[in-house]
């Protein structure tokens, strides 16, 4: 939630001369704050929608699933750009015998070309930009972003969605079992 606000501080000086007492003139200073609001700044919200858990389905030597991430804006200002990232920790074996793991570098996000959408049409607070495909380890991947709209104080409402696939490719010799990782989705606004 961002407000666009221009604040100006003015100093107001008042001089009072004392006549007939022989004393020096006193000067008094008052400081006031003047606030100018440009346009009607939106005070809405921009949040990640509920993202379901990913259940990877095994096919041959890999396990994969569709991966959809959405951001919902409700009367949010379109002035500043924003982006969504995903980052995964390593996969840990959760059944017995425990102890095995699969590095997050083996967990890859692949964006679906042209899948970035804004609904309803015309509500976008800037230009929607595709993210990148690659491992979700380390710094993760940018799933998608919306560029700034420097000429707008309008409050936007809509849902912005990116579709992709996540695939886990375990290294040869990985112990059979159930593996779990925590994937962190971050909206940076």
45-188 folds as Immunoglobulin-like (2.60.40)
For the chain, the domains span 6-36, 45-188
Nearest-angstrom CA–CA distance, 189 and 187: 6
Q: Identify the band that residue 7 occupies on the pLDDT scale cut at 50, 70 and 90.
A: very low
Residues in CB range of 3: below 8 A, 6 or more apart: 41, 43, 77
pLDDT in tens, 11-50: 323 233 334 444 555 555 455 555 554 445 445 677 888 7
Per-residue confidence band for 151, with pLDDT thresholds at 50, 70 and 90: low
Residues 55-114: tens digit of each pLDDT: 888 888 899 999 899 988 877 766 677 899 999 999 999 988 888 999 999 999 999 887
Q: What are the structure tokens assigned to 177, written together?
A: 């079992």
Q: What is the mean pLDDT of residues 178-183?
A: 91
The mean of the pLDDT values for the chain is: 75
């Amino acid at each position: 939630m961002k407000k666009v606000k221009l604040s100006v501080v003015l100093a107001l000086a008042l001089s009072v001369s004392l006549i007939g007492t022989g004393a020096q003139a006193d000067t008094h200073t008052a400081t006031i704050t003047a606030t100018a609001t440009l346009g009607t700044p939106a005070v809405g919200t921009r949040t990640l929608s509920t993202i379901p858990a990913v259940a990877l389905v095994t096919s041959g030597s890999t396990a994969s699933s569709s991966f959809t991430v959405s951001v919902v804006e409700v009367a949010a200002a379109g002035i500043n750009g924003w982006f969504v990232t995903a980052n995964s920790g390593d996969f840990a074996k959760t059944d017995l015998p425990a102890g095995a793991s699969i590095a997050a570098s083996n967990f890859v996000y692949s964006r679906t070309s042209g899948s970035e959408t804004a609904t309803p049409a015309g509500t976008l607070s800037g230009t929607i930009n595709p993210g990148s495909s690659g491992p979700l380890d380390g710094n993760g991947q940018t799933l998608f972003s919306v560029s700034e709209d420097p000429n707008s104080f309008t409050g936007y409402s809509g849902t912005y969605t990116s579709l992709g696939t996540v695939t886990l490719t375990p290294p040869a010799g990985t112990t059979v079992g159930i593996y779990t990782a925590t994937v962190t989705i971050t909206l940076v606004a």
